[in-house]
Structures are given as structure tokens and as C-alpha cells.
Amino acid sequence: MPHPNWRRFLRRIALAAALGAFATGLTAVTPLAPTAEAAGTLQQVTHFGSNPGNLAMYAYAPSNLPTGAPLVVALHGCTQSASDYHTHSGWQKFADQWGFAVVYPQTSSANNSLSCFSWFDSAKDTRGKGEAASIMQMVDTAVARYGSDRSRIYVTGLSAGGGMTADLLADYPDVFAGGSVDSGLPAQCATTQSAASGCQYSNQNLTPTQWGDKVRTSDPGYSGPWPRVALWQGTSDTTVAPVNGTELRDQWTDVWGIGQTASSTQSLTGGTTESIDNDSAGKPAVALFSVSGMAHGLAVNPGSGADQCGSTGTYYLNYICSSYYTAKFWGLDGSGGQGGTGSLPAPSGLTVTGTTDATAKLSWNSVSGAASYNVYRDGTKVGSATGTTYTDSGLSAGTSYSYTVAAVDSSGAVGASSTSVTATTTGSAPQCYTDNNYNQVQAGRAHQSSGYTYANGSDQDMGLYNVAVTHTLEETSPGYFVIADSGC
């Protein structure tokens, strides 16, 4: 609503006593310029928050990362580092291939003599405290830095990093869409360091409900939706006993309210058995990957194949590329989290054959053995087809959408996803900009007067001129902006 002059006058009076303090505060909270970052390299990010857990933040973003891409948080194991995990785990390959950013939190010997994340310390691994709080500050910083999609944030970790991953999934189920616990421990298995060894080496003899309660009490009052969780465990692990994989499965299937009997089981490469527990809609919710003969570590599989990744090293063991199957389980390949581990190859020749202001038409080559095809828009399944064409409808004008297709066999197993194509609908879409008032003014979309901010063109009152107030402005015509906080 345009502001009348008398409102400005009254506000000037109310602000007079505090104007000096406000000016000082404005100087103090002027946004820092983004850290210079070479796309495609691992970079340390400083000044990401108050950092109560005394962690370091490293991040990797591929070149030309689009706004609205997923974000993966990857936690190293004991005696490891962010750089070590980035080099060996294989996440860089899929970040480049499928387009997402990766944040690597790093702890140190100042926190733990072996540089382990403190998954066993309730002062550090619970919501809003210590290392958990620092990692959430990293997430917020990365979302602002890369424009990441808050509905597609995932966390994974090895060993102590896996234990912290389980804790984070329990602490922040409202933040993480999925997780992967690699050779790790159930959420809140131990609350003191003296109790940690019991979790590592012994069966805790808890029921699924008791395990599930540890998750539910980590964020009281939260009732879903819950993260989709992949669990990796070697059968010959003597550091984190294989029973932890079973306990993790019991914990998260109970949280989901589903049974512990697998909905489907199949054999994968590297002596790996994949057991999937589906949710009530038939979508994979919990996956347990048991790797026969593997000791303690992260499963990698060096090579150039589509399902290969990583490099071997201390605690990086050559069996199967766990990062590939985890990413597909989450749907980072565009499969929408449908599992995507069936044997059918990816359809080739996916092409956009036409668009209107509300539709996109697709075609692709047939796959031998396919009973149908799933179609995914921006990583979410939007339909299926028995033939090799599909028309997606209900789209917004002047908007770009990313599509992939996967073949489905007669048993319902979803195969590999195709490479993505982009369809841009015809017409024009309104331009919208969400930012704090300070940045809106600096970008020329608003102006300030006497400590308050007003939208250019409409002169709508946006509140105080600082970084603490955020609005969405819609440019309805060149240089004319209106407040569109309720939607654009």
C-alpha cells in the first residue's frame, strides 16, 4: 500500500532518539561480499555463523550450478578431513553430473583427539547445540550462497560422521529430505562418550519402537514428513558392528510407521544386497545396503562406469560406489527417489518436441524389456507412459523445466535415468526477487528514506532499511515493483 506523508512524519519522530544507534547498526550488518570462489574446486567458507561447535566449513559447487539445485552435506569419519572425503568419496562426480552443491563440515583434534564428530555427546549432537548447530549454520549459508532448494537438502556421513548424520536426521527432520548413514550408528544411541563403545560393538537389545522414540524425542512435536534414509553396512566390520545396520533399519522403519520386512530385495555389484522398505504409497523410504565381507569404511568403486566412483584409501574400500546408489535413492539423478536401481538401461534420445505456454511434449527411444516409463520434472515424478512420448501440462508460462525419463520393468523396478533435457514454455513469466531490504535498494529495485525502504514504482512501504527485513518484489513492468510476499 502506498504510504501517506503523515506516516513518514510520525515515524521520523519515533526514530529520532534511536537514529544514531540505527545508523551504527546498519554499518555493522552491511552484508559481506560473497567469498571469491572458483567454480569446480573445493573451497573453505568462513564467517558462516557463530559456530558453537568449532567446526570448519568447506564447499564444492560445479560450474554453472543452477538456482534451485539440491544440496548435500557430507561428513567425514574419524582421522579424516573434508578434503580427504571430497577426494575419495565420489560425491564430486555426481555433483558435476547431476548438478548439486556439496558442503563438507570438518572437525579437528581440538574437538576430539581422533577428529571424530561427537555423535555421542548430547551437548554437541542435539538440535540447536554444538556441532549440530554449526552444521545447520553451514546449511543456511550454503542455501543463501547457491540458491539451493530447501526441500532437497540431504546429509550423509561415514563412521562417526554417520552417527552424526543419524543424529542430524533426528534433530532436523524438517530440514533434511533424506540421509545416508555409512558404517554408522543409530540416532542418539549414546549420550555420553563412555556409552559410545557399547553402541559400536554390541547389540543394544531395543525394540523398533524404542529406537524410533529416540528420533521422535529429538524434535518433540514433529510428526512428519520424515527423511528417506539409506543405510550402508559391511558384514565384516569390527569397528561398528553389523548389528548397527539392523538397528538403524528398525529405527527408521518404525519412525515411518512401516514394518521391518523388506518390500523388495535385490543383489548389486560388490557382493551387496539391497533391501528396500516402501512407505504406504509404495515409494522407497528406508534402504539397507549390506556389503558382504566389507570391513569398516565407505564403499567406493574406482572406474569410469556410470555406476562407479571414488578412489581407495584408508577407510575407502573397493566394493561398490555407495555415493551413486545413495544419490539415486534420493532422486538426485532426476528419478524422484524411486530407487532407480533396476537393471534396465537409461532411455536414450530424450528430446523436447514442442512447448506451449502451459505444456511440454517429450519423446525418447524405447528400451527393450520396458513395461512403462516414468517421467520426472525437476526431480519429481509427474507421470508415466507405456509408449515413448509424453505431454506434461499445467506448467507456468516463460519457465524452464528439467526432464528425465526412466524405464520400468514388469516387476516395477525402475532403471537408470536418462540424461536431462530442458523445456522452456512460451510466453513470459513475471520477474520476482526475494532479498533483504538493504540488498533490494542496492540492486535498484527499491529506495530508502529516513531509515525506511520503499519499492520503486509502487512506493510500497517495505519497512526498515536493513538486512533483517526480507521481501519478495515482483517487477510488473520495467522499473515498477510491487510487494509479492504471498506468491509471485
- Active-site positions read 159
Closest CA to 55 of 126, 135, 153: 135
For cell 554417520, name the residue: 162
Closest CA to 360 of 429, 406, 428, 421: 421
Instruction: Detail the DSSP E strand segments found in 394-437.
Output: 400-408, 414-417, 421-424, 431-436
CA distances from residue 284 to 55, 103, 331 in whole angstroms, order as listed: 33, 25, 11
Burial class (CB in 10 A: 0-12, 13-18, 19+), 487: exposed
Angle, CA of 42, 328 and 155, to the nearest 5°: 50
- The partner residues of 380 in beta bridges, in order of sequence, read 377
Closest CA to 61 of 17, 81, 91: 91
- 281: phi then psi, degrees, rounded to nearest 5: -95, 0
CB neighbour list of residue 108: distance below 8 Å, 6 or more residues apart? 54, 56, 115
